[in-house]
Structure 1
Amino acid sequence: MTALLVEGVERIAVLRANALGDLLLALPAMEALRRAYPSAKITLLGREWHARFLRNRPGPMDEVVALPPISGVTSDDGSSAPGEIYEDLRARRFDIAVQMHGGGRNSNPFIRRLGAGLTAGLCTPDAERLDRWVPYIHYQHETLRYLEVAGLLGAGTCDVEPRVAVIREDWAELNQTLGRLPRGLVAIHPGAGDPRRRWPPERFAEVADRLGRPVVVTGTEAERDVVGQTLAAMKRPARAVIDELSLGGLTALYAACDLLVSNDTGPRHLAAATGTPTVGVYWCGNLINWGPLSRRLHRPLISWTTRCPACGRDGTSPGIEDCGHRSVSWVGDVTVDDVLDQAQDLLR
């Protein structure tokens, strides 16, 4: 692998401009790049929220450049990148530009326009080729996928689970917003961006009640309804936290918990990255790409539903046309006892 190291590298750009879980699962690859090129300046090409969250936070990136809306890269609205963004990025004279953003149909042309000395990343069969590339195959764990990309540049690692530092500002925000937290706190996150990944809220409520611990139920404004349904189904009192904390404050909250029980969603990755044990409910296909890679602290419960519960259409083939039944849960065959057993085992 050392034969793939590039000599004289001073500046590296990494494109990873998507959601929270995407960032977290790519962190081991970025850490590998940092170890392989310790004196290089690593720039994350991301979004505004990346810049806010990563400011003053220890990690492999030296800076974040927040990209404007670019169709297929940071948005899907058909917008094209203003010419000055390319001028600004080319002026940084990157030695290496790394595409950790997906299959490359839209992101590889963007990467090649940066004028870097070497490009590396992923390619679907119809994507523009980079100087060094590995094929993008849908069913591959995201962390291992991007470690393969780092490997193209001679970077390796044995750390496969992402880690995020909780900084002083995170703790200060948490204390100011929520005050003193009870000991033995368990977090429940019943939401997910795709409703098909949501376990029924009444089952989260039953797990929370049967654990007999202080509980906080987290969610975004878009998940307010499912948080409310979970609280309404609970027999024991619980505290709702809906968009009261920044991403940094939420990081501290999860770090303060003994356990998170969640759907397959960004907050599960965030809690895991702080070192908090997690129980996650996963659809079988998503577990391959997004599930935890270790089992000492993280227990995925797997739904083996392969066809839409509403119409029976197969959901296992990548790129299959959406049947439109997005409000129907695909993880309903996971039982409360399954989740409770794993949660109690982790708490012991």
Structure 2
Amino acid sequence: MTEKDFLPKHTEALPESGKVAWKAPSNIALVKYWGKKENQIPANPSISFTLDACATRTTLSFQKKETTSKFSFDLYLDGKPKADFKPKIEVFFDRIAEYVPFVKEYHFVIETSNSFPHSSGIASSASGMSALALCLMDLERHMQPNMDPSFFMRKASFLARLGSGSACRSLEGDLVVWGKHESIEGSSNLFGLKYPYKVHDNFKHYHDTILLVDKGEKQVSSTVGHNLMHGHPFAEERFKQAYHNLTSLQTILESGDLEEFVKVVESEALTLHAMMMSSNPYFILMKPNTLEIINKIWGFRKETGMPVCFTLDAGANVHVLYPESIKDSVIQFIQDELVAHCDNGHYICDRIGTGAKELIIPKK
């Protein structure tokens, strides 16, 4: 598919007003996307687990307005106006206006809430932008009542990507690939693709316990971080590494090889942070407690032989990944050894989810 496939095909009139709502999950990348080209195109392919408990709920109310010269919206986070989010939504609407021109025809009220701390490295922009994209596609569906469900999701992923790259991986579950990879049929730089191949039972009910080392805002935004890959001395080798790791992960996912899974996932996490530490300017996003947790996970794995591992996003928080078969032992280990290194002892028990869900709005 190309961008032209997502241009509007109006067949029905738009409603005067209404309200739609969606819940979209966050995701945690196993092979990381870090570095992008123009128009939110990834410099390398990535793959992620879709989460379940960490999610954004967004309600979009819309009312036709008289002029279509500019965008008009109010934005609320947890019931309070959030003025500092508005520029990002303005940029998003500007990018998608060609594909959903009706965004200029309405005044929107965007009411959103997260089940987890935003801007702290748990991909709140991914779940937030995907939820908003789904709401907009719900509105477009009024014009095309017979829209194919797979096209609905694909275009929503395409739109979400234009708001936040990793958002295109937050619509479906349980594994999603984004970025063109020659051995993954249907993969694209334009949208996320539900992983189309056989996955071993070892990976069917994976858990992700997120240790909140630092609940504050990230030291550096993802946008700034991605831009630092331009001219980075190790960028091209990193992109090749990610491509190779995704190839390796295909074999691992089919065979159920947990030991090799651990190696790839942890290497990807540390490489992401190594790229930040070797950029110009450079950043260290990990905190002392991040390193304490990592070392304790390594010690626990060596002592028990259990295939528990960690991954990191662009922040200090640690995602502890483990299969269902060792859940009780790992939770006990987390409570006994790792919680002490969390901000106020806070952590989130999550699991691999099935993707976004439309929310039912009660009738008045």
Same fold (TM over 0.5): no
> What TM-score do you get using the length of structure 1 for normalisation?
0.27
Higher strand fraction: Structure 1 or Structure 2? 2
Higher relative contact order (CA 8 A, sep 6+): 2
Higher helix fraction: Structure 1 or Structure 2? 2
> What TM-score do you get using the length of structure 2 for normalisation?
0.26
